[in-house]
């Protein structure tokens, strides 16, 4: 039996752990180790809208493969009997911009993509907007979806350990392969100094009459994204800012900007404000490394640095991480240890 541990119980770690179980079945024993679980992971506060965002120089082809696989997976969940319980919605989106950008590479992944005529952009948005695109895509609410994934993981004989890992040395005596899904904290755990936060502050309000996403892609833009029990108003993306306290000036920016997009938001009850740190990196890290720990070689598969797109890429990345586990399983290195 091969012992694998996955560090991280966010959307990336949990999905990776489940895909490894699905792919290798009883040949492996998978343990999930984390010190934070839902509802306290980054994805729990995110709106969960599908759409590649803040991914640095991650190769376009990789983004296409991972995001399409995730879109297909969300489609299969949406068509299941459990879509509501799992937090999956299908929703119309209007994305507007003061700049005219090239059309996104993912335009054929979503449904009914079209460019909005000027007249329509002015109706939906605020003055000064020059571009608008409209399409239908999925939202995956992690606060509903992660408990489901954890349940699946346990059902497939997965072990769950609540623990903080300081270094790989803590794991090498027990596990043959380590899968690193530590998000922003890969900066310390994997010693990767290129990992840095993109701070995001948002607000959740009660406004069940909002049934579409309105997202202003301009640099100083705001967004309004409906979830099932709240509407997420956003948002900020402050590079390198680790502060998880609410900034009153961000609250004001969010309220004023979103009310400019949807004036009726002026009178809605606020449920809560939240700050999360997107795991920023020059590009997503999804690779296999052999590290020497305690005079022993151990395979570490890294899957972190998903920036503002963890919920957009998770399934595609989980599948690729599971393929890397397969490579490690068949490598001479591991065979010599068996």
Ligand X SMILES: Cc1cc2nc3c(=O)[nH]c(=O)nc-3n(C[C@H](O)[C@H](O)[C@H](O)COP(=O)(O)OP(=O)(O)OC[C@H]3O[C@@H](n4cnc5c(N)ncnc54)[C@H](O)[C@@H]3O)c2cc1C
Query: Which residues here bind ligand X, judged by CB under 6 A?
Result: 7-13, 33-36, 41-43, 45-49, 164-165, 181-185, 189, 200, 202, 235, 276, 278-279, 304, 306-312
Question: Where are the alpha helices (H) located in the chain, listed in sequence order?
Answer: 11-24, 42-45, 60-78, 83-86, 118-124, 142-155, 186-189, 248-261, 310-330, 332-337
Which of residues 181 and 329 has its CB atom nearest to ligand X in the complex?
181
CB of 318: closest distance to ligand X in angstroms? 10
CB of 303: closest distance to ligand X in angstroms? 8
Asked if 201 contacts 273 with a C-beta cutoff of 8 angstroms, the reply is yes
Asked if 69 contacts 190 with a C-beta cutoff of 8 angstroms, the reply is no
**Measured CA distances, 120 to 44, 135, 255, 310 (Å):** 33, 14, 23, 31
| Rounded CA separation 6/180 (Å) | 6
CB of 37: closest distance to ligand X in angstroms? 6
| Rounded CA separation 13/8 (Å) | 5
DSSP structure class, residue 110: S
Which of residues 307 and 329 has its CB atom nearest to ligand X in the complex?
307
Helix (H, G, I), strand (E, B) or coil at 267: helix
Scan for tokens 């530590």, then name that residue. 182
Which of residues 108 and 164 has its CB atom nearest to ligand X in the complex?
164
CB of 241: closest distance to ligand X in angstroms? 11
For strand 296-304 and strand 177-180, is the pairing parallel, antiparallel, or unpaired?
Answer: parallel
CB of 166: closest distance to ligand X in angstroms? 7
**Measured CA distances, 199 to 46, 239, 250 (Å):** 12, 6, 11
CB of 9: closest distance to ligand X in angstroms? 4
CB atoms within 10 A of CB 2: 17
Which of residues 159 and 330 has its CB atom nearest to ligand X in the complex?
159
Which of residues 53 and 122 has its CB atom nearest to ligand X in the complex?
53
Which of residues 34 and 334 has its CB atom nearest to ligand X in the complex?
34
Asked if 20 contacts 325 with a C-beta cutoff of 8 angstroms, the reply is yes
CB of 218: closest distance to ligand X in angstroms? 17
Which of residues 234 and 334 has its CB atom nearest to ligand X in the complex?
234
């Amino acid at each position: 039996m091969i012992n694998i541990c996955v560090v991280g119980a966010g959307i990336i770690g949990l999905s990776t752990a489940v895909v490894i179980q699905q792919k290798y079945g009883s040949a492996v024993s998978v343990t999930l180790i984390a010190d934070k679980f839902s509802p306290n992971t980054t994805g729990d506060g995110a709106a969960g809208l599908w759409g590649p965002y803040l991914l640095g120089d991650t190769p376009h082809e990789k983004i296409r493969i991972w995001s399409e696989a995730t879109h297909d997976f969300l489609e299969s969940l949406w068509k299941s009997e459990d879509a509501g319980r799992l937090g999956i919605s299908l929703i119309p989106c209007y994305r507007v911009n003061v700049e005219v950008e090239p059309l996104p590479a993912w335009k054929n992944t979503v449904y009914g993509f079209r460019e909005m005529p000027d007249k329509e952009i002015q109706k939906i948005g605020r003055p000064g907007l020059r571009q608008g695109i409209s399409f239908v895509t999925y939202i995956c609410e992690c606060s509903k979806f992660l408990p489901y994934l954890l349940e699946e993981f346990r059902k497939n004989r997965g072990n769950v350990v609540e623990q903080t890992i300081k270094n790989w040395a803590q794991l090498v005596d027990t596990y043959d392969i380590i899968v690193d899904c530590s998000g922003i904290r890969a900066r310390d755990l994997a010693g990767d100094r290129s990992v840095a936060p993109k701070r995001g502050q948002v607000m959740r309000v009660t406004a069940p009459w909002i049934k579409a996403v309105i997202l202003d892609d301009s640099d100083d833009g705001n967004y309004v994204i409906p979830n099932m029990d709240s509407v997420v108003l956003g948002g900020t993306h402050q590079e390198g800012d680790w502060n998880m306290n609410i900034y009153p000036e961000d609250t004001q920016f969010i309220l004023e900007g979103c009310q400019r997009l949807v004036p009726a938001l002026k009178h809605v009850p606020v449920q809560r404000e939240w700050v999360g740190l997107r795991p920023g990196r020059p590009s997503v890290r999804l690779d296999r490394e052999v590290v020497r720990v305690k005079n022993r070689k151990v395979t570490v598969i890294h899957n972190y640095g998903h920036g503002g797109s963890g919920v957009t890429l998770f399934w595609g990345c989980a599948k690729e991480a599971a393929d890397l586990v397969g490579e490690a399983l068949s490598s001479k290195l591991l065979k010599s240890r068996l």
